[in-house]
Structures are given as structure tokens and as C-alpha cells.
Amino acid sequence: MATTPMVAFEALLNGVTSWNVPEGPIPCELLLIGEAAFPVLVNKRGQVLIAASSYGRGRLVVVSHEGYLLDAGLAPFLLNAVNWLRPSPGAPVGVHTSLEPLVTILRGSGIEAQVQPELGDRSGVYCINAYNETLTTELVQFVKRGGGLLIGGQAWYWASQHGCDKVLSRFPGNLATSVAGVYFTDTYGDRGPFKVSRKVPKIPLQVR
């Protein structure tokens, strides 16, 4: 599953001419560390809102609000993401019950996806929100073995309930994505408008 960020970026944005991001959801900024992680959508402030990475034999696409995974306006990107995440063409796609509308979007794009409350043995790609605390260990092993994970959420609300200092180490989504060098943060993300970049966006190096 090894690939360069540029090749992966081109696959993820193939045919995407605009970011029809829903206006309602307030995303969070994603923090990228490690060599495998790279930005896919970056706003004018240099904040990463969508990222991709790899871990073991598998891949991840991380989205900074679960609402982005439920909006038909992003169907071209979601189609690309699932196809890039698949370990093999036609590999089964499972969708957690928390993201049920995504099944309709994917089916409308020709991908046969199924609602799947648990990670099944046959899944090639699994789609889930970042708030599930029960499947973390399974998700990490799933990706390590070669599966593809599409995960979305924001951590600013969780931080308001549990404390900002605990986000990186204890936010449920981070327990799954941190192995690949991607973290949800408690920082609000700017909501656009967004340009479609033709190459991997550059992001500022930040130390907080």
C-alpha cells in the first residue's frame, strides 16, 4: 500500500473541482506529525481540515467534522477517498450506524456500502465518527493489517467537557488516528471558502 503523498493526493482529488463543504458544521484543526501524514484540504489560515496517512499496511483519511461525511456535496471526494482506502478494488465497505446517511451517498456514486455496527472480518474499508470509544483497539489493528479507515469528527466540544489538556491523549478519535500521525485538536477551524489545490498544500510548522 506504499505510495507517495503526491500520488495519493492526486487520487484523492481526481475530478474534484470544488469543495462543496456544508456551511453549518464547525470543524476542528487537525494536527499532523510524522512522515506518513499529509494535508488534503487546508484553509486560508493554513489549518488542515482533511488529512490522509498510512499505518502498517493500511491507510486513513481523517476529516475534521463528521458532518462532512454526511453531505452529498462532497460525494466526488468521498468516492475517491473510499476507493483510495480500499486494499483491493471492490473490497467491502462498512459504515458505522453513526454515519448511516453516508451509505446512501456512496451507493449513489456506485459504491456498494453496508451499515455495519461492528468491524466485520470482511471489511476492506470502515467509516466511523471520531467519538466511538469501544472500537479503538480494533480500528488500529484493522488499519495495521491493511484496512482503510475513513473517520470524521471534531474535538472542540469534547474538550469543553473533558478539558483541553486531555484532547491529544484521550479524545476517542485520537486513540485511533495518532498511530498514523494525525490528531484532532480543540482549535476551531475556519470554514472557507476553500480552493482546490492541485498539489499537496504546504502547511506552517507550528509548535503549541
Q: What is the pLDDT of residue 60?
A: 97
Q: How many domains does the chain have?
A: 1
**Which element (helix H / strand E) includes 28?**
strand 28-32
Task: Determine, yes or no, domain membership for 171.
Answer: yes
Q: pLDDT tens digits for 73-105?
A: 999 999 999 999 999 999 999 999 999 999 999
Q: What is the pLDDT of residue 121?
A: 75
Q: Which domain holds residue 61?
A: 18-186
132 close to 98: Cβ distance less than 8 angstroms: yes
Task: Determine, yes or no, domain membership for 122.
Answer: yes
Positions in the chain short of pLDDT 50 = 207-208
Task: Determine, yes or no, domain membership for 111.
Answer: yes
The residue with cell 500520488 is 7
Task: Determine, yes or no, domain membership for 128.
Answer: yes
Task: Determine, yes or no, domain membership for 207.
Answer: no
- Residue 23's CB is within 10 A of a number of other CB atoms, namely 9
Largest CA distance in the chain: 43
Q: What is the pLDDT of residue 204?
A: 64
Task: Determine, yes or no, domain membership for 61.
Answer: yes
The model's pTM is: 0.95
137, burial (CB in 10 Å: exposed 0-12, middle 13-18, buried 19+): exposed
Q: What is the pLDDT of residue 208?
A: 44
1: cell is 500500500
Task: Determine, yes or no, domain membership for 10.
Answer: no
Task: Determine, yes or no, domain membership for 12.
Answer: no
Could you give the residue ranges of the DSSP H alpha helices within 120-193?
136-144, 156-162, 167-170, 172-177
66: cell is 463528521
